[in-house]
Structure 1
Amino acid sequence: MLYCRKFFSIILLTLLLVGSFSPATHAAEAVLIGLNLPLSGSLRDLGEDTLAGAELLGSQINDQGGLLVGQTRYPVQFITVDNESNVEKSVSGALKLISRDKVLGIIGPNASSNAIPVGGICSSFKAPMITPTSTNPATTLNRPFVFRSCFLDDFQGEAMAKFAIKQFNAQKAAVLYDKDNAYSKGLAKFFKKSFEEQRGAGAVVVFADYQSNPGDLRSQLTTIVNSGAEVVFVPQFAHELPGILKQIRAAGWDKPVLGGDAWESSELMKNCGDLCKGLFFSSHFSPYGTTGKSLTFVKDYEKKNGKLPTGFAALGYDATNLLLAAISKLNTLDIDLFELRTEIKEHIATIRDFDGVSGTINMNISGDPAKSAVIIRINEDGRFEAYGSENP
Structure 2
Amino acid sequence: MKKIFKVALAAVLSLSLLAGCSIGASSGGEDSINVAALFELTGDVAQYGQAGLKGAKLAIKQQNENGGVLDGKTINLIETDNKSDPTESATQAEKLVDRDVVAVLGPMTTRTIKAVIPTVTSYEIPLITPSGTGEDLTVENGKLNEWIFRACFMDLFQGEVGARFALDDLKVKNVALLISTSGDYSRGLGEAFKEVFTAGGGTIVAEENYMDQDKDFRAVLNRIKGKNPEAIYVPGYYEAVGVIIKQAREAGITVPIFGGDGFNGNETTRIAGANNMSEVYYSDHVATDDPGLQEFIRQYEEEYGEKPTGFAALGYDTAQMLIAGIEKAGSTDTKAIRDALENLQDLQGVTGTITVDPTTHNPKKSAVILKYEQGEDDEEGQWVFTSRVDPQ
TM range (shorter): 0.7 to 0.9
Q: Distance in 1 between matches of 2:111 and 2:374?
A: 33
Partner of 1:337: none
Partner of 1:305: 304
CA contact (8 A) 1:314 1:357 kept: yes
CA shift at 1:58, angstroms? 1.2
Q: Aligned to 1:35, which of 30, 37, 60?
A: 37
CA contact (8 A) 2:242 2:267 kept: no
CA shift at 1:15, angstroms? 9.5
Q: Runs in 1 of length 4+ with deviation above 4 angstroms?
A: 13-16
Partner of 1:3: none
TM-score under structure 2 length normalisation: 0.88
CA shift at 1:19, angstroms? 6.7
Between the two proteins, the alignment pairs up a number of residues equal to 362
Partner of 1:354: 347
Partner of 1:375: 369
Q: Distance in 1 between matches of 2:204 and 2:287?
A: 29
CA contact (8 A) 1:150 1:315 kept: yes
Change (3 A) 1:167 1:18: farther
Alignment of 1:70-219 (within 5 A): 72-98=71-97, 100-141=98-139, 142-199=144-201, 203-219=203-219
TM-score under structure 1 length normalisation: 0.88
CA contact (8 A) 1:184 1:235 kept: yes
Q: Deviations over 1:340-367 (max 9, x none)?
A: 1111110001011111100011101211
Give the secondary-structure state (helix, strand or coil) at the position aligned to 2:287. Answer: coil
Write the letter of the residue equivalent to 2:329. Answer: L
Change (3 A) 1:19 1:347: farther
Give the secondary-structure state (helix, strand or coil) at the position aligned to 1:196. Answer: helix
Q: Distance in 1 between matches of 2:305 and 2:323?
A: 26
Q: Distance in 2 between matches of 1:208 and 1:231?
A: 14
Partner of 2:356: 363
Alignment of 1:196-345 (within 5 A): 196-199=198-201, 203-272=203-272, 273-291=274-292, 294-333=293-332, 340-345=333-338
Write the letter of the residue equivalent to 1:327. Answer: I
**Greater RCO (Cα-Cα under 8 Å, separation 6 or more):** 1
Q: Deviations over 1:117-136 (max 9, x none)?
A: 22343223321000000111
Q: Distance in 1 between matches of 2:73 and 2:133?
A: 32
Q: Deviations over 1:230-250 (max 9, x none)?
A: 110011111222211122123
CA shift at 1:194, angstroms? 1.3
Unaligned stretches of 5+ residues in structure 2: 13-27, 376-380
Question: What is the CA RMSD across the aligned residues, in angstroms?
Answer: 2.1
Q: Distance in 2 between matches of 1:286 and 1:153?
A: 19
CA shift at 1:192, angstroms? 1.1
CA contact (8 A) 1:15 1:95 kept: no
Partner of 2:24: none
Write the letter of the residue equivalent to 1:298. Answer: I
Q: Deviations over 1:302-321 (max 9, x none)?
A: 11111221110000000111
Identity %: 30
Write the letter of the residue equivalent to 1:80. Answer: E
CA contact (8 A) 2:174 2:204 kept: yes
Q: Distance in 1 between matches of 2:319 and 2:177?
A: 34
Change (3 A) 1:95 1:47: same
Unaligned stretches of 5+ residues in structure 1: 1-12, 21-25, 334-339
Give the secondary-structure state (helix, strand or coil) at the position aligned to 2:42. Answer: coil
